[in-house]
Every structure is written in structure tokens, then in C-alpha cells.
């Protein structure tokens, strides 16, 4: 009986240790184009915007950046908890503050059928680098 209890306890313990836990989902706050963003020279900052790429809609960097003030680093998609087709999430745009000044970052939103010359929506963010 004692051996059976030890066996069951070991089995439960090994099963618990071997199961893969889901990584915690990143907590992001949607960026508001009406509010000025602030960044410190040398640091990275994020612009977070609602997106639904599974339906073909996508954001693109619109106007040219003043890369002497802010530089594009990367972009990635952060899905909401449900990964079902057609569910939305957020696009996260990462930039680096290069030197003090003010820059504008414009993102254009396109439907699957839109050509890149005709965005469906625009969002312009003003960034002050200190």
C-alpha cells in the first residue's frame, strides 16, 4: 500500500512538473493619437493599436520617419486570449528614441482589397524625445 501511494504521489508530481504553462500574455495599453508620447533618448517605446490581421486588415508605416529623432525597431502582433480566426488583437510598433526633438509617426490601416495608396484609416502619433 505504501509503495502504491508513493507511486501515485510521484506520478502526480511528475505530471505537474512536465506540463507546459501558457506564457503570461503581455499587458498592453492602446495608444491614443490625441495624446503626446514622451520618450528618453536611447530608450525604446511602443505604439499599440487595435488590429485584426487574421481578416486581412493590416497597419503599415505611413509617412517617412525622421529617423534622426525616432527609428523603427520592429513590429509584432499580440493576439487577445482567443486565437480564433477573425478575432482581433493589437499591433505593437517598437521605436527607438535617437535624439531630442519632436517627430510624427503615421500608421495607415488597409483592408485586404485596398491598395497601399488608399488607406482606410490613418493614425498619427506625436512623440517628444527628451
What are the pLDDT tens digits along the chain (130 aa)?
555 334 444 444 444 444 444 444 556 678 899 999 999 999 999 999 998 887 888 899 998 899 999 999 999 988 876 666 667 889 999 999 999 999 999 999 988 876 666 788 899 999 999 9
pTM of the model: 0.74
What is the edge-to-edge ordering of all strands in the sheet holding 101-110?
Answer: 37-39, 121-129, 101-110, 58-61
| Residues paired with 93 in a beta bridge | 47, 75
Its CATH architecture, for the domain 29-129, is Sandwich (2.60)
| Domain ranges, ordered by start, for the chain | 29-129
Give the E-state strand segments of 10-120 in sequence order: 37-39, 44-51, 58-61, 70-79, 89-97, 101-110
Tell me the backbone φ, ψ of residue 54, rounded to 5 degrees: -65, -20
Question: Which set of grid coordinates corresponds to residue 96?
Answer: 527607438
Amino acid at each position: 500500500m505504501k509503495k502504491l501511494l508513493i507511486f501515485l504521489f510521484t506520478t502526480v508530481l511528475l505530471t505537474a512538473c512536465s506540463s507546459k504553462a501558457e506564457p503570461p500574455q503581455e499587458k498592453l495599453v492602446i495608444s491614443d493619437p490625441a495624446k503626446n508620447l514622451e520618450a528618453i533618448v536611447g530608450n525604446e517605446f511602443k505604439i499599440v493599436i487595435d488590429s485584426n490581421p487574421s481578416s486581412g486588415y493590416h497597419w503599415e508605416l505611413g509617412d517617412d520617419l525622421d529617423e534622426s529623432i525616432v527609428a523603427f525597431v520592429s513590429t509584432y502582433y499580440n493576439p487577445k486570449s482567443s486565437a480564433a480566426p477573425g478575432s482581433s488583437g493589437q499591433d505593437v510598433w517598437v521605436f527607438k528614441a535617437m535624439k531630442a526633438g519632436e517627430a510624427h509617426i503615421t500608421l495607415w490601416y488597409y483592408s485586404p482589397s485596398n491598395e497601399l495608396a488608399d488607406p482606410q484609416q490613418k493614425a498619427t502619433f506625436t512623440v517628444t524625445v527628451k
